[in-house]
Amino acid sequence: MDIGSILIMLAVLIVLARIGSRVFGRLGMPGLIGEIVVGIAIANLTIGDTSFLGMLDISIGDHPSQNYEVVEIFAELGVIFLLFSVGLETKVKDLISVGRAAMLVAVLGVIMPFIAGFALIQVYDGNIHHAMFLGAAMVATSVGITARVIKDMRLTDSKESRIIIGAAVIDDVLGMVILAIVVGMTASGEISVVNILLIVAEALIFVAAILAAALWAVPRIYNHFEKKNKENFEKPGKSRLGVNKLVLAIAVCLGLSWFADTIGLAAIIGAFFGGMLFAEYAWEWKLEEKIEAITTLFISFFFLNVGMQVDLGTLTSVSTVGLAVIVILLAAATKYFGCGLGAKLGDRSLSGGSQSIIGLGMIPRGEVGIIVASVGLASGAISAELYAVAVVMAVATAIIAPPLFSKAFRKMYPPEYRLTQDDLI
């Protein structure tokens, strides 16, 4: 293992990401857009005969170099710890209180993009497999993008944020169901109802178990330790029971991420629920600032990596670019109106501004859309052209939505909320 090569790559990438973030921040846009743009730039930049990535010993593709694997692991850990920290700020009862609205936001926000994507490709090339996969790639919101904006604006506590996060969890389950249907249909022409019921059942049991743990088991464990420690405190010679809180939190975060991944959910959904288990004690244990330090180390690699998926060389034909533009517009509009409508149906008290925030927050597809498209590409169900379109759609929605989202949020909440994560000199 060439540790020197890894160290300099990490240092260079983290500095470039930070520069991108600052420049876009100065332009009044969320910093993560700058990080994605830096990702696109470095993946497509060639100096002389050497690609920029080559200089950092990064190679993407079927045979990734070790350095790129490090980027991928850091990216995944970054979004895992980001969602864990969102979980730390989300109390179970707050999430349950927005359950109805979140459910309708998710359902309408899944159905509308799928129908739109499906119909568009049916018109474009008439291939039903293409149509199904592009529809599926347009379904799943990547909550990592929106979560970062929410965290940076310190607005995790707002009702709109809670609805978005809750809807993203349900959206992920529905996205899995749709992917399972689409894969089944393209592979064998059949839908395995048992399989789909299994996916839904696993997800429901997982969520129910976590909610039960958060509401019932965790407070009891906590009180047990508290009581024991009080008793031992009074008896000389007895030491206090205890665990390192940060290590406990890290272990739960990684363990539940693994578990969610294993049952077919996104790892970040597990991380989010893991964070929620600690929500009542995060402040007392100073967990938030510690997890935030860890997130800072990793998270830029997530946004860089989203950008690095874009190969500008695939966007040379006019018809591809035209298709991509239409797909991007449809992907944005269907989530915006679908989720906004769902929010209103679920909670009549929501204002137009809140609907707008929720609709915008659900637009980014990010890595989830890319993953769905790669499944299609690998199975031969979609063409390289459609794959490129899906990737561009995923990245473009991740770039378009955050500025509009943060602007709408800023309008709704007074400026003192508008702190960014940069603590300036």
Residue the block writes with tokens 């169901």: 177
Residue-by-residue DSSP string for 337-351: HHHHHHHHHH-TT--
Q: How far apart are CA 371 and CA 330, in angstroms?
A: 19
Cα–Cα distance for residue pair 63/182, rounded to 1 Å: 27
Q: How far apart are CA 307 and CA 42, in angstroms?
A: 9
User: According to the binding rule CB under 8 A, does residue 424 interact with its own copies?
Assistant: yes
Query: Is 168 in a helix, a strand, or coil?
Result: helix
Residue 93 contacts its own copies per CB under 8 A: no
Nearer to its own copies, 56 or 164 (CB): 56
Least distance from C-beta 52 to its own copies, angstroms? 17
* CA–CA dist 137, 124 (Å, integer): 16
Binding residues among 205-234 for its own copies as defined by CB under 8 A: 222, 225-226, 229
Q: Which of 51, 57, 64, 111 binds its own copies (CB under 8 A)?
A: 64
Is residue 73 a contact residue for its own copies (CB under 8 A)? yes
Residues 145 and 365: beta-carbon distance below 8 Å: no
Q: Among 420, 290, 304, 424, which residue's Cα sits nearest to residue 14?
A: 304
| Alpha-carbon span 335 to 191, nearest angstrom | 26
Q: Is 418 in the site for its own copies (CB under 8 A)?
A: no
CA dist., res. 263 & res. 260, Å (int): 5
Distance CA 383, CA 140 (A): 20
Q: How far is the CB of 138 from its own copies (least distance, A)?
A: 24
Supply the minimum distance, in Å, between the C-beta of residue 135 and its own copies: 26
10 binds its own copies (CB under 8 A): yes
* Site for its own copies contains 70 (CB under 8 A): yes
Query: Of 265 and 389, which has the nearer Cβ to its own copies?
Result: 265
Taking the complex as a whole, the smallest distance from the CB of residue 294 to its own copies amounts, in Å, to 6
Tell me the closest approach of the beta carbon of residue 336 to its own copies, in angstroms.
Answer: 31
**Torsion, CA 264, CA 265, CA 271, CA 277, rounded to 10:** -100
Stretch that binds its own copies, among 284-292, 377-385, 402-410, 411-419 (CB under 8 A): 284-292
290 binds its own copies (CB under 8 A): yes
Q: How far is the CB of 226 from its own copies (least distance, A)?
A: 7
CA atoms within 13 A on the CB side of 272: 28
What span, in angstroms and rounded, lies between the C-alpha atoms of 39 and 69? 15
List the one residue from 4, 61, 313, 352 that touches its own copies (CB under 8 A): 4
Nearest to 29 by CA among 288, 294, 303: 303
The DSSP-derived string for 209-225 is HHHHIIIIIHHHHHHHH
Least distance from its own copies to the Cβ atom of residue 415, Å = 14
Give the contact letters, 242-271, x = binds to its own copies (CB under 8 A), - = no.
Answer: xxxxxx--xx--xx-xx--xx----x----
Judged by beta carbon, residue 39 or residue 166, the one nearer its own copies is 39
Nearer to its own copies, 22 or 93 (CB): 22
Of 66, 93, 217, 219, which one interacts with its own copies (CB under 8 A)?
66
Residues 16-45 binding its own copies (CB under 8 A) are: 18, 22, 26
Contact 334, 139 (CB under 8 A): no
Closest CA to 369 of 123, 39, 136: 136
**Residue 153 CB, nearest distance to its own copies (Å)?**
16
CA distance 265 to 172: 7
Q: Which of 35, 76, 152, 367 binds its own copies (CB under 8 A)?
A: 76
289 is an interface residue for its own copies by CB under 8 A: yes
Q: How far is the CB of 254 from its own copies (least distance, A)?
A: 4
Cβ-in-10-Å burial (0-12, 13-18, 19+) of 222 comes to middle
- Residues 153 and 148: their CA atoms lie apart, in Å, by 8
Instruction: Report the nearest approach of its own copies to the CB of residue 231 (Å).
Output: 13
Here the tokens at position 262 are 């294993």
Q: Is 421 in the site for its own copies (CB under 8 A)?
A: yes
Q: Does 241 bind its own copies (CB under 8 A)?
A: yes
* Chain positions contacting its own copies, by CB under 8 A: 1, 3-4, 6-8, 10-11, 14-15, 18, 22, 26, 64, 66, 69-70, 72-73, 76, 80, 222, 225-226, 229, 239-247, 250-251, 254-255, 257-258, 261-262, 267, 285, 289-291, 293-294, 296-297, 300, 421-425
